[in-house]
Amino acid sequence: MPTMMYRDALRRALYEEMKADPRVFLLGEDIGLYGGAYAVTKGLLDEFGPQRVRDTPMSEAVIVGAAIGAAMIGGRPVAEIMYVDFMTLTMDQVVNQAAKIHFMFGGQITVPCVIRTQQGTGRGAGAQHSQSLESWFVHTPGLKVVTPATPSDAYGLLRASIQDDNPVIFLEHKGLYAIKEDVPEEPFVTPLGVAEVKREGADVTLITYSRMVHLALEVAAQLAERQIGVEVIDLRTLQPLDMETVLKSVSKTRRAVVLHEAVMTGGLGAELSARITESLFDQLLSPVRRVAARDVPLPANVALEKYVVPNAEQVISAIEETLAVKQIVR
C-alpha cells in the first residue's frame, strides 16, 4: 500500500470521482491555479479544466448558493470554503435551503452537494480562523456531517460523500493535512454513519473524532503501560451518528469519556453523554465525562491556544476520575 498524506488522499478521492462522473465539479476560492489553501486541489485544474474546477469570487454565499442550485438541477458539486468560520456567511443557504429542499418538495428534488471546509486549532490562527463548529450542523436535520481523522478515511469518506444524494458538510482538520498513512491502492468507499473501534480495551470507552482521535490513541498507549485498557472509538460521521457501536462498547466497559476539540457547552459530548446515559444508566459504573475546549474565543497566541484545547493530561485525568468511581449511587 502506498503511503499517502491526508491532503493527497482527499485529492485522490476528488480525482477518481471526477473521472468516474462528469457531473462532479469543484468550486471555491483559489482552488484552481493556486491549488487550494491547503493544496488539496493542486493539479486538478490541469486535468479537468476551468469548467470543472471553478475559481470563484471571494464570496462564500455565492459559492454555496451556486453549488446548491447546481445540485438541484443534476450536478454533483464539491464546494470548498476556506475556513469553517466563514460558513457563517452561508448559513441561510445551508440551514434553510440545502438541508430542507428534499423534504419541502416531497422528495422530488435532491441536493447532492458536498461542502468541504477545514476547522480546528494548531496554527495560532486566532478566534475567527480556528473554531470547531460541527455541532451547528449536527443540530440541523437534513445535513450529513463527516469528520475524517486519517488519510484512509479522508479518501473513503469523501468518495462516499460525493456519491450521496444529500448535502454533506465535510470537515477537515487543518492539523491533519500533512499526516501520513498507508492507503490501499484499490479504490474503496467508506460508508457514512459507521464508527470505527480504533483500539480495543476493557476498562473505559474513549469516544472522539477528527484530530482528537490521535490524542486518544496516544493516551490509550500511555495508560496501557499501567494496565488500563482504553477502548478508542472514532465516530468518523457525526450525522448520522453510529450509536450502535458506541453503546456496544460502553455496555462492555461500563464507563465512557467523550473527547472533542470544540468548546464544552453545547458540544457533541453533551449529546453523546445524554444518549449513553438514557440507554445504559443501569449499567454505568460512573457518570459519563466530557473533555473539551474551554468556553472562550480562541487566542492567536500558540501557547494560549494549547491551554484552551484538550491535552493528554486532561484526558488521563478524566479517565482516572471515571475509574475511581466504582458504582453510581442510585
Q: Which residues are designated catalytic?
A: 60, 129
DSSP 254: S
C-alpha to C-alpha distance for 297 and 57, rounded to whole angstroms: 29
Which value, to the nearest 10 degrees, does the dihedral of the CA atoms of residues 59, 64, 69, 74 take?
A: 130
C-alpha to C-alpha distance for 267 and 261, rounded to whole angstroms: 9
Give the list of residues 6+ apart from residue 48 with CB closer than 8 angstroms, or none. Answer: 18, 25
SS3 state at 54 = strand
Map grid coordinates 486532561 to a residue.
314
Q: What is the DSSP string of 94-139?
A: IIIIITTHHHHTTTS-----EEEEEE--SS---TTSS---HHHHHT
Inter-residue contact 91 to 137 (CB < 8 Å):
no
Q: At what angle do helices 151-163 and 6-20 cross, to 10 degrees?
A: 30
- Cis peptide bond upstream of 112, omega within 30: no
Give burial (CB, 10 Å; 0-12/13-18/19+) of 151: buried
Question: Which cell numbers in the block locate residue 8?
Answer: 493527497
| Count of other CB atoms within 10 angstroms of residue 299 | 17
SS3 state at 33 = coil
Identify the CA nearest to 2 among candidates 181, 159, 148. Answer: 181
C-alpha to C-alpha distance for 167 and 102, rounded to whole angstroms: 10
DSSP 147: -
